[in-house]
A and B are shown apart, each in its own frame.
Chain A
Amino acid sequence: MTDIPLVPAMAAAGPDEPSRIGALLGAVLPPAACLLGLVLLWAVGSATGLIPFYFLPAPQAVALEFVNNTEVLVRHGTATLTEALSGFVIGNATAVVAAAVLSSVPALRDMFYPYALVSRAIPIIVFAPVVVVLLGRGYPPIIAIVSFTVYFPTFLNMMRGLAAVDADLDELLHTFSASRRQRLFLVSFPTAVPYFFAALKISASSCFISALVTEWIGANVGLGYLVVVSSQYFKLASLWAAIFTSAGLTLSLLGLVHVAEHLCGRFTATAAEMDA
């Protein structure tokens, strides 16, 4: 028996191409124009001496730095990228596993969750010198600090996300006699996906910030180190090139997280609700 002549779902697919390109242009053009305007203002300000060179060198000087000192920027950028990304992956992975374990074993949650909450109040960066003493100079202490910074927002968000399961879905799985593991994978993780991405967006920038700051304290390579050294030697173009490079890296990771969320969103609740 068939009834209700509704168009089978998939026929009503996405919008046609031209309008999508138009929308993209509409989203990209205004901020691009704004950026161009700012750079022009900056150039004019520098040329007329309104912006002192010891505060911010002219745009062409910074651009020249990228061309002439590419090798230096790449070397320090690679170091920072390695530290930030390693910390990003380790911190987030640990947080997801810890939250999954704690939220499915009530006894463990009751034991550890209060401490997990309290430890958020500790400014991890003040431990950097101690960690450097413990782990020596180089990548390990920095990755450890970055992982720690990344860990907390994701852990807390995942705890909330895993607990946000719809009561009706919980009952459904209950009547199916689903195991704890089945509930976790069939319902809890998909429910927590939006919370997870919210945390990833926070950690995408915080992983670079904590990598840079830790480099000030205990490293001889990395963009944070380059910033310190450049300012000591009054190499302002190099300083600003380092700042722009780290901003670019942060934005790239943030962009990747957004793309991943969009791709993932097709398989989770958010996509269905946003399209509806």
Chain B
Amino acid sequence: MSFRFPRFPVSAPVRDTGPMMTTTMAASDPGPIGLRAEAVGMTYRRGQHETVALAECSLDIPRGTWASLIGASGCGKSTLLRIFADIVKPTAGVATLHGLSPAQARANRTFALVSQQSTMLPWRKILGNVELGLEVAGAQPVERRNTAMQMIELVGLAGFENAYPHELSGGMRQRAAIARALTLRPQFLLMDEPFGALDEITREKLNFELLRILRETGATMLLVTHSISEAIILSDQVAVMTPRPGRISHLVRIGFGHDRTAAMRDDPRFTACEAELRHALHGGAPLH
């Protein structure tokens, strides 16, 4: 891949605080404001029935850094992502993207969402689907075709651009959805289990491919995943959520900096992070 993103003009200091901090610099400076949720609450109402999906949920992801959300199914991870993407409005608190409301951020096209369903227009071929975001944004046909083809190649779908979505496997559709999000060169990348349907090997390949793209674009990412190791590989901080009501119970900082290779898995710190996250997921008291 020779394609390069325009570099994002904001430096991205990494916050390395908390118990996992070991070797990297101990910067406590909070970094430029990125994704921020302040006491966000979300109560779904259907007639008399109420579901409290989120309560007092606060999260701060400095610009240019990466965060993951893990937690049991139904604990409100997608809901938080959908609040940032301006699909639902929180019933309490505020969510901001670089200081802007989700509605403003959407109007400025600063974020891209890869939804849990990897939604595609069933009557369009993969190329047409990957082009869709740029098409809506008013890009020229040649430009959007070229960008779409580059992204299709990047996610390993070259040769499938003329297939219809229903002709692809679930994992391939997920990769097409990622390609579509990347064509928009978003400052904020919101991803809801984007690698959920992939095998371990493809998943890890794409994890490191995504890391490269994140470094090149300087994008800020919020990722929902069910895989602890994926959360560690792709994050500066991992937020653990507990259900009913959904809130963030633990925040684990991953002190690996941004130059990561597959070798990080063998690092003892990786295993330590894994242990702490597993402990947190099972409802343990914070270790710090």
Contacts and interface: CB of A to CB of B under 8 A. Distances in A.
A182 B136 contact: yes
A56 interface: no
A268 interface: yes
A34 B111 CA distance: 63
B227 to A, nearest CB: 19
Contact of B162 (A9, A171, A173, A190): A9
Given A8-B159, A175-B113, A269-B122, A186 B136 contact: yes
B40 to A, nearest CB: 18
A171 B87 contact: yes
Interface in A171-199: 171-178, 182, 186-187, 190
Nearest to A187: B121
B219 interface: no
A233 to B, nearest CB: 55
Nearest to A275: B166
A169 B119 contact: yes
Given A177-B106, A177-B107, A269 B123 contact: yes
Contacts of B135: 186
B86 A175 contact: yes
Contacts of A17: none
A273 B166 contact: yes
A182 to B, nearest CB: 6
A50 interface: no
A125 to B, nearest CB: 38
B160 A175 contact: no
A1 B121 contact: no
Interface string B147-173: 000000000101110111111010010
Contact of A177 (B87, B136, B156, B159): B136
A178 B136 contact: yes
A16 interface: no
Contacts of A3: 156, 201-202
Contacts of B115: 168, 171-172
A192 to B, nearest CB: 12
A94 to B, nearest CB: 25
Nearest to A270: B123
B167 A9 contact: yes
B123 A271 contact: yes
Interface of A: 1-4, 6, 8-10, 166, 168-169, 171-178, 182, 186-187, 190, 267-269, 271-273, 276
Q: Which 6 pairs from chain A and chain B are nearest by CB?
A: A9-B163, A168-B119, A176-B136, A1-B156, A178-B136, A269-B122
Interface of B: 85-87, 106-107, 109, 111-113, 115, 117, 119, 121-123, 132-133, 135-137, 156, 158-160, 162-167, 169, 172, 201-202, 205, 209
18 contacts: A9-B162, A9-B163, A169-B121, A171-B87, A171-B119, A173-B136, A175-B86, A175-B111, A175-B112, A175-B113, A177-B106, A182-B136, A186-B135, A190-B121, A267-B123, A268-B123, A272-B122, A273-B122
